[in-house]
Amino acid sequence: MSIASNLAEIKDSIAKTARSCGRDPQDIKLVAVSKRHSIAAMQEAMEAGHFLFGENYIQEAVLKRAELSREAKIHFIGHVQSNKAKQASEHFSMVETVDRYKLARSLNKHLERLDRTLNILLQVNIGNDPGKSGVAPEKTEELLRDIAGLSRIRTLGLMTIPPKSQEHDGARIHFRNLRLLGEELAARELFFDNNAVELSMGMTQDFTTAIEEGATIVRVGTAIFGMRPPLP
């Protein structure tokens, strides 16, 4: 299967799922997760009319950003080490994985120097999974309030990676909980736009479930680009 036909199939599946639960397919953005895949593969996606990508590794993402035309937009979806805040502030249309104040403050400092604003999501460890990054659900409000004081950062919503589960439909409860948390925080007017809170959740295995539970951004890699090459 080609990248173009995989993309067409995923977009069709997104649209069908959205309509089946009474949502507008336009309200769901597809982030094509291209980590460890080649620039040529990304260009193939662009030739098929897809321009939004997700990357996990700063160095790889910055290299790709430099090679791709300006039409390409990259969401950073990997862990951001504090010493990589400068690069993270400069090269991406969104950083989905802010999970601590120190990082946000560091991003803000670099954004001031660059005279730039940055859209972010807060990564929430919604399943309280000890192996995962992300702010604890009960600490999310405090982090949002702290970040609201940083003038160059706009918090558009929440992102999560649920714990791995062997159970059928195991991710659904976590997706639902992320949506409920988003609704609670929006009711307190803590986001940049409280009428359009972004929820980034769902990957190849479970993006349709995530859409049923309210995802506005799904992050799909394998189903578009195939298996990832191993880490070097």
Ligand X SMILES: *Cc1c(COP(=O)(O)O)cnc(C)c1O
Burial class (CB in 10 A: 0-12, 13-18, 19+), 40: exposed
Q: Does residue 151 touch ligand X according to CB under 6 A? A: no
Report the C-alpha gap between 92 and 120 in whole angstroms.
Answer: 10
Segment holding 6, helix H or strand E: helix 3-20
All residues at 6 or more sequence positions from 230 whose CB lies less than 8 Å from its CB, including other chains: none
Q: Does residue 91 touch ligand X according to CB under 6 A? A: no
Q: How far is the CB of 219 from ligand X (least distance, A)?
A: 4
As a dihedral over the C-alpha atoms of residue 144, residue 140, residue 89, residue 102, rounded to 10 degrees, the angle is 90
For tokens 């730039």, what's the residue? 116
CB of 152 or CB of 225, closer to ligand X: 225
Number of residues that bind ligand X (CB under 6 A): 11
Q: How far is the CB of 22 from ligand X (least distance, A)?
A: 25
CB of 35 or CB of 100, closer to ligand X: 35
Among the listed residues 13, 43, 56, 87, the single contact to ligand X using CB under 6 A = 56
Q: How far is the CB of 195 from ligand X (least distance, A)?
A: 26
Report the C-alpha gap between 42 and 53 in whole angstroms.
Answer: 8
Q: How far is the CB of 72 from ligand X (least distance, A)?
A: 17
Site residues, ligand X (CB under 6 A): 33, 35, 56, 77, 161, 203-204, 219-222
